[in-house]
Structure 1
Amino acid sequence: MTSRREFFRKAGLATAAAGTTAFAAPYVKAANAKITWRLQTYAGPALAEHVIKPSIDRFNKIANGEMEIELYHADQLVPTGELFRAMQRGTIDAVQSDDDSIAAPVDVSVFGGYFPFASRYSLDVPTLFYEYGLDKIWEEAYSEVEGVKWLSAGSWDPCNFATVSPIKSLADLKGKRIFTFPTAGKFLSRFGVVPVTLPWEDVEVAVQTGELDGIAWSGITEDYTVGWADVTKYFLTNNISGAWCGSYFANEERWNELPDHLKELFRACMDSSHYHRLYWYWAGEAKLRTQGTKMELTSIPDAEWKQVEAEAHKFWDEIAKTSPRCAKVVEILKQYAATMEKAGAPYRYG
């Protein structure tokens, strides 16, 4: 709350007599003045240390006083579900999140976060965007929304269950109250999961008090990094997605006002952030499965888990019917999956 109050003070919060609230834009353009942006990430403080802070620190150092990006964590200034609108209004200058969680008003937002079985490995996400053309589709979608510029997508960790009681069959999922992403929750509800939405910072306590039975928000690396491994006992090795798809966004006016060299610097630092996550998660998932001491590994037999994968493909077809653009994305996902299966190891095993 202290950070939020300070944000409102800096942003020039003003309340009209009629009860409406207006925010002054946090960035003020002035000749030869340092440009200051506020960027809020989806990640809490411990996770942000790995998924974004190194790249922002690097940006601020290289910008050499011309520009500074102030980094804020999950829900610190604005609830995650309101981030898109806040950025659109200019009360926040940039965002790192998935399209799904910030309620981006574009049809392709459903594919952000964890779209079930769209990826098997972390390299699938950048390959789909920058070799199979999803970047052009995202640019087109966001060009239809006033005030926001989509900048780049990258890969995070897989989506596994971390739970208080063990999951060893699909039947064990029924009735489980799980913190997860909107689209992932919608899909998992087909197997009896009860999706729960909470502020990120409340999740650990909610598990301790029994409000939640578990989490399907990350892989094992984040479970250990953010403290969830301290309050859950079991980690399900089966996942519904091999990599989370997250993006960087900016207020369009703020982005357009940047000189070209600062735009290129920001793009380079985004790439640096994407690259860091690729190897940090890849190493962490294997290391903590084999050397971690806080969580017991469980698995659902492959033959039974194939029911989940088959249901995911039905889900894909349902999403494809929602818009021609979504149909195009689903067709690309199918083409990509077929190519990877045909290529075999190391692209796909089993």
Structure 2
Amino acid sequence: MAENISRRNVIKAGVAAAAAGAATVFPKVASAKSKKIRWRMQTHWPTGVGYYKDVYVKFCDRVRAATGGELDITPLPPGAIVPTKDVFEAIGRGLFEISLIWPAYWIGKVPVAGHINGQLFTWERAAEMYAYFYDMGAIEIFRQAYGEHNVRFVAPLPMTGLALYSRKPIRTLDDFKGFKVRSTGIAAQVFQKAGATPVFFPGAEIYQALQTGVCDGAHWGTVSTAWDMKFQEVTDYIVLPYLAGINNGEIIMNQKKWDELPDDFKAIIEECAASTGIDFLRWSGYNDSIDIEKFQKEKMGELSYMDADTVAQMRKFSIEVVDEYSKKDPKYCAKAGELLKEQLKMNGRI
């Protein structure tokens, strides 16, 4: 109950802050700009999910309204310009301008991107994530790392807890042994340390993989974002506590295009990105509650709770992976990892 109250208060506070910030830039911009700016935006989200329109398309609508139509962003579905795995490179090369996307896809190119997603069993509330990025300064580390590839990291796109849907119950560490889990990035390496077998499929293939038993479990964001992917039809359990209390997507864009923007448009994009983060927190938080109830009452599914020892061990594995990345990438991962561990110590988790 205390966790629900905390999350609700965080979301209310975030909405208020976003609204206050938006008020300073959202009135129609009066400018002497003579040429309308037209951008294309691509995401990895399938068009059929509820948050495609309520979060992704709404971001483009917000920017258009706030600039009086002078900056017009067209939202495009996965693969419209390039395959999802190539988005980061395409943005850097200027093939298109902006994207709402998942950072773990380029962890091989930019290892510190894994810290943008968030690490398993670390943040428990949105306020902690925001403090890490903005108060502790992690966002500047990410911007420097992305900048080397001509990509501007605009903002994190937070959602509620990272949910594991499973065909099998997961209660102890032993239950992970041989468990085939669809996962990405650093999360996959944490599962591997626990004895699981990480596998990867594009989003459109996860349903069939679960249905046929090619994998035993999968995560695709929150309970509700995975619900829109129909995971509830091919699994029997939702594993709790969440793998992460908060996890992030990202909004990124071409650095040159960012540099060319006037300051008022830069402020608008940042404010719209912040408001979109609140939209996604609100959307996922509300729909998570609805879908968990449906899962139990309509689908006759069960909630499978990991015991405290398992959670503690998984957190330990998570920090081990963070440290391994710090050694591989002392320039960026080491800095981001130290900030995270400093925060976890303050919160009494390590």
TM-score range, shorter chain: 0.7 to 0.9
**Which residue does the alignment assign to 1:38?**
40
Return the offset for 1:291: 5.2
Distance in 1, matches of 2:71 and 2:229, equals: 30
SS of equivalent to 2:325:
helix
**Which residue does the alignment assign to 1:239?**
242
SS of equivalent to 1:70:
strand
Would you say 1:250 and 2:232 are equivalent positions? Answer: no
Would you say 1:99 and 2:103 are equivalent positions? Answer: yes
Return the offset for 1:282: 2.9
Return the offset for 1:82: 1.0
Would you say 1:218 and 2:224 are equivalent positions? Answer: no
Return the offset for 1:321: 1.9
| 5+ long unaligned stretches in structure 1 | 1-30, 342-347
The 5 Å alignment of 1:177-326 reads: 177-290=180-293, 292=295, 293-294=298-299, 295-322=301-328, 323-326=330-333
Return the offset for 1:211: 2.4
Distance in 2, matches of 1:103 and 1:304, equals: 26
Tell me: CA distance 1:259–1:120, structure 2 relative to 1, closer, same or farther (3 Å).
same
Distance in 2, matches of 1:123 and 1:44, equals: 28
The 8 Å contact of residues 60 and 75 in structure 2, kept in 1 or not, is answered as yes
Distance in 1, matches of 2:81 and 2:145, equals: 27
Return the offset for 1:63: 3.0
Would you say 1:149 and 2:152 are equivalent positions? Answer: yes
Distance in 1, matches of 2:46 and 2:126, equals: 21
Tell me: CA distance 1:106–1:182, structure 2 relative to 1, closer, same or farther (3 Å).
closer
Distance in 1, matches of 2:235 and 2:143, equals: 39
Normalized per residue, the structure richer in helix is 2
Distance in 2, matches of 1:259 and 1:306, equals: 48
TM-score, with length taken from structure 2? 0.81
Superposed CA offset, 1:87-129 (max 9, x none): 1111121112233213473341231324223312222211110
| 5+ long unaligned stretches in structure 2 | 1-32
SS of equivalent to 2:347:
helix
Return the offset for 1:33: 4.0
Would you say 1:82 and 2:86 are equivalent positions? Answer: yes
SS of equivalent to 2:112:
helix
Superposed CA offset, 1:120-147 (max 9, x none): 222221111011111122222223x142
The 8 Å contact of residues 162 and 216 in structure 1, kept in 2 or not, is answered as yes
Tell me: CA distance 1:191–1:228, structure 2 relative to 1, closer, same or farther (3 Å).
same
Distance in 2, matches of 1:35 and 1:324, equals: 36
SS of equivalent to 1:153:
strand
RMSD of aligned alpha carbons: 2.4
Return the offset for 1:298: 0.8
Higher relative contact order (CA 8 A, sep 6+): 2
**Which residue does the alignment assign to 1:12?**
none
Distance in 2, matches of 1:207 and 1:77, equals: 28
The 8 Å contact of residues 121 and 314 in structure 2, kept in 1 or not, is answered as no
Distance in 2, matches of 1:277 and 1:309, equals: 26
Return the offset for 1:52: 2.1
**Which residue does the alignment assign to 1:69?**
73
Distance in 2, matches of 1:40 and 1:146, equals: 18
Distance in 2, matches of 1:252 and 1:304, equals: 42
SS of equivalent to 2:170:
coil
Distance in 2, matches of 1:308 and 1:110, equals: 17
SS of equivalent to 1:240:
strand
Distance in 2, matches of 1:127 and 1:98, equals: 20
How many residue pairs match? The answer is: 312
**Which residue does the alignment assign to 1:174?**
177
Distance in 2, matches of 1:50 and 1:281, equals: 11
